[in-house]
Amino acid sequence: GENVEQHPSTLSVQEGDSAVIKCTYSDSASNYFPWYKQELGKRPQLIIDIRSNVGEKKDQRIAVTLNKTAKHFSLHITETQPEDSAVYFCAASISGYSTLTFGKGTMLLVSP
């Protein structure tokens, strides 16, 4: 089955810096890659996703890149703010099968 590795497990940055979280996956059939943000005590919320027919997607300060050949994808957050502090999860799935396989999560701490 699919296996998703996520790094780093924790990431501390200063406000205004950029943050990058990386994930690798094992199943070449995976073609949908969502990122979820979970603030303390709240539900995981989808912040961005990418499908395998594109290499990059942006939404304001966040972007995701996908390298299908290398089977890795990354989340980039620019101009980080304290409210970006949360646990971020990457996931992979095969379209039509629905099951999400998650990474272990990255705790991002943005210091003012």
Among 14, 40, 43, 60, binds another protein (CB under 8 A): 43
Is 11 among the residues that bind another protein (CB under 8 A)? no
Is 29 among the residues that bind another protein (CB under 8 A)? no
Q: Compute CA 94 distance to the chain's CA centroid, rounded to the nearest angstrom.
A: 16
The residue among 3 and 18 lying less far from another protein, judged by its C-beta, is 3
Is 30 among the residues that bind another protein (CB under 8 A)? no
CB-based contact 2:97 (threshold 8 Å): no
Among 64, 89, 106, 110, binds another protein (CB under 8 A): 89
Contact positions vs another protein (CB under 8 A): 4, 6, 32, 34, 36, 42-46, 49, 89, 91, 93, 95-105
